[in-house]
Chain A
Amino acid sequence: EAQVTQNPRYLITVTGKKLTVTCSQNMNHEYMSWYRQDPGLGLRQIYYSMNVEVTDKGDVPEGYKVSRKEKRNFPLILESPSPNQTSLYFCASSHGTSGTEQFFGPGTRLTVL
């Protein structure tokens, strides 16, 4: 089954404790992206990657890191999480970006205390 998986689905952590949210897709998509969703703000792009070893900042990259060492994986790293990073996070992938459908993961609900 074609899908985008994220882990964990729910995470509660404390300020400053490094964490990684994994994202994996099995569709051989070139493009992968991370979004955060906050009430009243919609989806905002954090980072994206056009292909292996190519990553770029989205609209809200501060406090986040990503890597794209393999085509299928695109982990999101929070080196020192803060409460303002409490949010719902989505990973998505597609064959390029021009007009193609984004396939979204199920979301990760992160709470930073």
Chain B
Amino acid sequence: AQTVTQSQPEMSVQEAETVTLSCTYDTSESDYYLFWYKQPPSRQMILVIRQEAYKQQNATENRFSVNFQKAAKSFSLKISDSQLGDAAMYFCAYIPLKNRDDKIIFGKGTRLHILP
């Protein structure tokens, strides 16, 4: 069965520092997409970054970047120069490219605290 695991229920980081949130997944598929979503206190789900499994280059969006290790089935999110507005719950998600059953799998989330 396909699963997504976020092993850190909570993390804290000092403002302006760098933090890495981990995500591992289990799949037998070779082609898939991975996502990081952010859920701030407003509860709105916001897409942070997306990675296609067939691309070797790690995705980057401003201060957010991923470390995608396909062989290890690891998809960590690095936040550089952390800001107070980064405080949120972060969810990792997986979608197979040939989505036979159309299900999207989310991890249980990591709550990130930013310390001023």
Contacts and interface: CB of A to CB of B under 8 A. Distances in A.
B47 to A, nearest CB: 5
Contacts of B107: 42
State the main secondary structure of chain A at its contact with B: strand
Interface residues of B, number: 26
Interface in B79-103: 91, 93, 95-99, 101-103
B43 A56 contact: no
A45 B104 contact: yes
Given A42-B91, A42-B109, A90-B45, A102 B104 contact: yes
Contacts of B45: 90, 92, 102, 104
B103 A59 contact: yes
Contact of A99 (B44, B50, B101, B106): B50
Given A43-B91, A92-B45, A104-B44, A97 B99 contact: yes
State the main secondary structure of chain B at its contact with A: loop
A35 B45 CA distance: 12
B52 interface: yes
Nearest to A58: B103
B78 interface: no
B108 A31 contact: no
Contact of B47 (A33, A43, A44, A101): A101
A84 interface: no
A45 B95 CA distance: 13
B102 A56 contact: yes
Interface of A: 31, 33, 35, 40-45, 48, 50, 56, 58-59, 88, 90, 92, 97-99, 101-102, 104, 106-107
